[in-house]
Chains A and B, each alone.
Chain A
């Protein structure tokens, strides 16, 4: 077994309105920053032990499918690193 950290990033699908990001963008603009757009995402760092990188990835993807992301509104990606 090897120790891994799986990083799951969950973001809204393209085209799904993100009012919190829009509000944050407006606040940045009030502070005088210039920007075109802002997107927010949730990032989960999962420490786990698995037989291989592939097995760690599979488990983290399962976590994303079943809880961390809502497939109706979210896309997600998973990165796996040894730790």
Chain B
């Protein structure tokens, strides 16, 4: 009897056709890539200056910071968390480092980058502590710390901007110089991808992050310390935000109180487009980078196609909503097909 009732829903769904959408799931990243290529071809037809070397390099440098942050955000999302404070952390680290280098121009660029990362790590440690040791919900903890870090940024800057003429050449060079003909920002981003790939796929700790995200209870029983993992991902996120703060200030040659305000939403959007599940446990590096590239292309291509800048937000919102809903539809199709297979 019990067996019969358990089979009933399966038999019911078996009447339905096999979902065609499900085949998309296997090629999620490919689908995203195909969409990006289609978009690029479309834009290229409308405006031939889109796929010039100059514009592509420009686009890559503009996307580098977004994609670095997206890599960190992916790890946070994988553990079922969210970090809304990264824009504020970025601004705080950028502002503090800009003040240091404008006060003594002999400050070495490498030291500036390390200082930025250090500030970011401290910011991340505070959030990690709140989330893992005290057990505050990530969205609330990062919301509160976002306010606090943003307030600190305004306080230390006293409402003033630090502009390019106050920064030494060497500091601005961090993001604008090039090595072997390739912009340093792109090189830094590639380095981050490579180390993230190694960390996620080939180290024990990297796999533990996914274990905690997909099933915290089992992870705990397996002997993984959830607290340490949470601490780690928020600290990593903070460190990456700190790094990006220095890169941002160096790239745009200006540090302001409202630097990168609301940027966290673009980063989260890139992750969602890249197929990271907000429910935790799943997310691929390749997808996230493609998601960031897609947002970068949109930001670059819409002005080239003479689309009014005021349409940009609306288009971005529509694409995110459609991508997220399509993702769910695909997943439902996959599950339906699994039920079909079970009947045989």
The finding on whether chains A and B are genuine partners in a shared complex, rather than unrelated, reads: no
Instruction: Using CB atoms and an 8 Å cutoff, list the residues of chain A in contact with chain B.
Output: none
